[in-house]
Every structure is written in structure tokens, then in C-alpha cells.
Structure 1
Amino acid sequence: MAEFASKGVAGAGLGLGIAGTALGLLNGGAGLLNLHSGMAGCCSENTAVNRYELNLTQEIASKDARIGLLESQVYVDQKLTEVYKDLNAQVNAIQAQLSQQAVYNATLNGTVSCIQGQIAQLQSLTKLVVPNTSVCPGWGSVNVTPATTTTTPAA
């Protein structure tokens, strides 16, 4: 933004110099030849201008400053657009990672639920056996023998 302000100031100085030179030439060039110095053919920055020329030069400087301001605003808008695009890309990447994590979590929860169901089913098939010595001593020994089954052939 400083470069645009510098251009406006430089443009205003150049405009004042041009206006002063033009005024000196319109007055027959006498102001240019003998103004504040005895040197012939030398331009001075202290050339007198009338109020109309000064107003025109100030108006041009004001417009140059306005143009500089607008150019700087366009530059800032472009940079903000770049920042937004970069930030939006980062947010989209994070959102993709969160979506993948949600799929992983759902799969893991389903697997854990399935395993819990299998464990519960296994526990229902198993009976807790308490040894005889832990219950009441003196009942004697207990022997468990498997029963034999017979199958009849299908007729």
C-alpha cells in the first residue's frame, strides 16, 4: 500500500511541476527565465501557479490517491481470496480424515458387538462347576460318567 501512496505523492509533485512550467510558458516565459535566480533557461520548483491550476493539480493528486487506494484494495482482496482457498483446502482435508475415522469407528463398533454376542453365547453353553471339596466336606466323592446313547436306524 505504501507503493501506491508514493505514486500518488510523486504524481502530485510531477503534476505541480508540469502546471508551473505550463504557466510560465503561457506568461511569455519570463517567469521561467528570471524567477528567484539570475540563471537563464532554468526551471524552478518554486514557479508561481494560479489557484485554478493549483485546484486542478490537487484534484489530479486526489484522483491518483483514490486510484492507489482502489488498487491496494484489489490487491488485498486477491490475497484474502488466496488465504480463503488455502484454508478451505485444509478444512476439506480434515473433513475427509474425520469421515474416514467415522467409517473405521463404525466398523470397529460392529466387530466388538459381534464378538460380545459370541462371548455371551459361549458363556450360556458353559456351566460353572464348583468342586465338591469347596462346597461341604464330608459328602463324599462324586464321579461323573458320560451317558451312552443309542441311535436307531431310520426306517
Structure 2
Amino acid sequence: MSVVISSLKWDAARSGTQRITYDQDGYHLVRFPYETTEESYDPWKMHDPANGGPGESVYPDARSGLIWPSHDGWGMLSAMVFWEADTRALEYRARFVRDPLNASTGYDSTATNDTMLTRGGQFRTYLWQMFVTPGTPVGLKISARGAGDARIATRITLAEFKLAIHTDVLTP
């Protein structure tokens, strides 16, 4: 079975702070730089600044948070987020979204995950599988919530977002 992959990494030490700002849906679209690092891998150009608009995207604009599938297939989305300690945050949320900027087929959130504050570090991993198609980007959106569901403008220190597309899906 053929698999095509896009693997993105952002970390505060390399790319500076990424402060959480909330969109209308109450989530932040995590942005990723357009660069090749030891952890980033994108030979199919699914995270290309030319994708999705009339001009080149420039990190950290919203389009830098998108992966544009290069093939139709069964997509395995995975992510990892490390949150900076913030005593106001009581829960952490993440979701994978088809077309998070509502630029092609329409916003479609899926696989929302909600976890409580733990005594240790706030390190989370996420996994979801779904069909993907060229022309419909996917993104990772996150949110930190406090008392009364208040959105907390905390920071993240590390984020990774990966898409592996199985291109040879059999049908009966």
C-alpha cells in the first residue's frame, strides 16, 4: 500500500512564541513554519506557501496552519501539543478540521478531544482517521478553557501535525 506523508513541527525555541488567539469557533488554528527541519517532512508539498490562495502564504498567517492533501485516500491525522503551564486553564481541547478557513468545501470539525488539567505537564497527543481529498485542507485547532468555559490565552511550547494518506484504498 502506498503512503504519502506531510509531517510538520513547530517549537518555541526555534520559531518563537505562538500565543493562542481564538477564531469565531473558539479555537486557535496552530501555525507551522514553511521550512525543512530535522522533524519536518513534506516532499509532496502539502504544506506549501503557494497552496490555497492568490499569493504566497507567510508564516504565521492562518494559511500556514493548513495541510493540503496531495491525493485522495484514507488519511491518518496525528498531532502532539505541549502547553505552557497556566494555572487558569482547567481543560485543554483539540480538534482536526476539514477546511478550517472555510475556503473550499466548508468548515467541518471532527474528532474533538477534551482533557482535564493534570498535575504534571500538559502534554497531549491526538489521532484520527478519515477520508481526505485534494482541494480540501485540514488543520489542527486547539483551545485552553478556564472556569465558566472562559478561553485562556495561554501559550504552547511545541506542536506537531502529521498527515499520512493511504492512497490504495480497496473497494469491494
TM-score by length of 2: 0.20
More contact order relative to length (CA 8 Å, sep ≥ 6): 2
Whichever structure has more strand as a proportion of its residues is: 2
Higher helix fraction (1 or 2): 1
